[in-house]
Structure 1
Amino acid sequence: MSKRGPAPRPLTQEQRWAAFRLVYRQGMTMKEIAEEAGVSRMTLWKWQQRPDFAKLYDQEYRNMLRRFRTRGRRV
């Protein structure tokens, strides 16, 4: 079975930043994060549906957890 359509484009800097910001949102809403990225809330939601965006988000989330766990052990 072959793929349909063009190959997905790599993530842009804005998309990478949005994934990072979603992990470290510090009480910000989706709307506020979208506004900072210069896109609509719907566009941000569509980005979240992309497998490569979701993978980047998951990686950053795991990195955040690892940092918190490491800090906890040092105390």
Structure 2
Amino acid sequence: MIKTVLAAGTLALAVVAGGTAIASAEEAQVEGNYSTLAACQADGPNVQVNRDNNSWTTWDCRQGNDGLFYLFLSR
């Protein structure tokens, strides 16, 4: 249910934004996974990556189909 609502919201945002902001955003998944959302969120603000570490401005935790949480960075 929540995934459906989020997907619909993302689609609506893409239509409103004309797709330009979404198409230009770069995203990277951080290696590893988390068993809980809280664990993912605890690492989110402090994660360090090898490629252009200072250019990643936001992070997001998403639950995968396997039930685990994955950390994504975007700029």
With normalisation by structure 1, the TM-score equals 0.29
Larger radius of gyration: 1
With normalisation by structure 2, the TM-score equals 0.29
